[in-house]
Structure 1
């Protein structure tokens, strides 16, 4: 069975303003000091997916810069440009339709572009297990991060007690909790952080979108029917901006979990969602005053600050 990697890189990165802007969001920035975030995501994906099958979904405003940034790493034809931001259900559905119509069904590994992974080999091992599981059964699979503290910044996945080869059933999803609930979740040992990484067959996720969000699927089907025709881009630009905004969690994952159709693999890989300036402390060490200093910076009477030059 074919394997495909899809990197979601369409966000505006507004929480990293003014460094991150609409035309150059955080995924096109070098925040770690090693490489652009999107290129780090491509390198991680290349551990499990061949170069020719790695796709990036990004916004129209970022497409030109994305082509330059990923030159030699991702084939230009695999940069999918969204005419408008319509949230993850449409982003994932569009990429699944592109794969199914143009390349044939297969297992998709979907990751955001703005994650920091300390232990790439640990994530790689878990993704390989997930790909094999997705090949063997028609289940939606997600990666859950073993929580290291009661975070109120992440959503949580409630796991069942049964376990087959480190794969657990998902009983439900929880939104970002308050401190008391987060502490309860972590203490119970039954919850994982929701990473936003998914593994499933392209045909299966489209079936689930059709079942649980039929209006979104109907519009994606119009786009799919125009693929490989001269009208493809015209239909994409006419239809895509009018699709209802909805996350894949709300559209598909939550109702699917209630029917026992979602599995999770726990992962301990030093994961973090690089969402805003305060997460820079994950990427860089603090000085003796608790400051994160990036670039040519001199800190005078500064404590607990992020200083970027």
Structure 2
């Protein structure tokens, strides 16, 4: 990371929102409820995925709002301090942490952050929501794509950033764009589709569909107006919460908790993007493969990014890979971990858990977490 990229520009166009939640169950046992993947340095860059996200957005952001749960607030605040103390992040950049009382999925988190930004900076502010645990290869190219999305957002569109597919992946949802150009670099969205089977994914890629990376750039007034139309009760509650937020009075805190926990659990895709797309109100800016976006969603994705096939932690595991192309090894100690003759093997050795699988089965790792929960072994999750 270059410290020169940490200074927000004087005419920053964006108020960035980073929802930081979830346990990253497909990366168990590295990622757990107490230490989810966004807090980890999984890529060996010297910063966590969250820290990398903040630094990536800082040069084009007037403010950054991170929404996280009570269990992770202290760690998130600690990582922000570390960036500032190291001179990687300007002390002048407005970076705030919003602690949601409980997880209600992405729409309440993004909606609350948007209401708080609107309250502080005005309803004409442009907000952008970006996951805390994704990775970008070419950050300059990515920022250029985001700024194109800002232009479309200023024209009243909820603007998503689609990723030009490199394969017919079944791990992502897809976006179908029309030929209609609504802003420089932005096309009108026809529809969003859920994760498809491989045969359908192949058709989508051949037809020019984009991967849905779950990134949205939009006017604060656009978000709040659509919420008021589509989910009036949620919009009213979020407005009330924003007016109460930050109060230290115990009675106010209780009111906030009760109101928050009454909100529905719903993702922004289902709450806004899909219905607004049906009305012609969603645009997409395509990020080319050169941006090298990854959701770091499972060990297959992580293995692709760690070309040496190993993630060494603690005193450093000693991986020995023999005739095992595409294998991935992660170790917490100085013991030797050898894989012989197993292509695409995945071995993750932690102090209290050992995972052995293959890249082909990487999406199924979350079933281990589900099984542990069903057996009452939550302490391992």
**Is the CA contact (8 Å cut-off) linking 2:152 and 2:184 kept in structure 1?**
no
Q: Aligned partners of 2:73 and 2:245: how far apart in 1?
A: 19
**Is the CA contact (8 Å cut-off) linking 2:189 and 2:282 kept in structure 1?**
yes
The question of 1:107 aligning with 2:126 is answered yes
- Superposed, 1:260-279 pairs within 5 Å as 260-268=280-288, 269-279=291-301
- Alpha-carbon offset, residue 22 of structure 1: 1.4
The question of 1:171 aligning with 2:190 is answered yes
**2:337 aligned residue:** 298
- Superposed, 1:24-173 pairs within 5 Å as 24-34=35-45, 35-50=47-62, 53-71=63-81, 72=84, 73=89, 78-105=96-123, 106-135=125-154, 137-163=155-181, 164-173=183-192
Range that drifts further, 215-224 or 61-70: 215-224
TM-score (norm 1): 0.92
Q: Aligned partners of 2:38 and 2:341: how far apart in 1?
A: 28
**1:213 aligned residue:** 231
Structure 1 residue ranges without an equivalent (≥5): none
Query: Match of 2:294, SS?
Result: strand
Q: Deviations over 1:89-113 (max 9, x none)?
A: 1111010111112332310121001
TM-score (norm 2): 0.75
Structure 2 residue ranges without an equivalent (≥5): 1-10, 310-320, 350-381
**2:316 aligned residue:** none
- Alpha-carbon offset, residue 18 of structure 1: 2.2
Q: How many residues align?
A: 305
- Alpha-carbon offset, residue 292 of structure 1: 1.7
**Is the CA contact (8 Å cut-off) linking 1:109 and 1:200 kept in structure 2?**
yes
- Alpha-carbon offset, residue 233 of structure 1: 3.4
Which of 249, 260, 269 is the equivalent residue of 1:240?
260
- Alpha-carbon offset, residue 234 of structure 1: 3.4
**1:201 aligned residue:** 219
**1:256 aligned residue:** 276
- Alpha-carbon offset, residue 229 of structure 1: 5.2
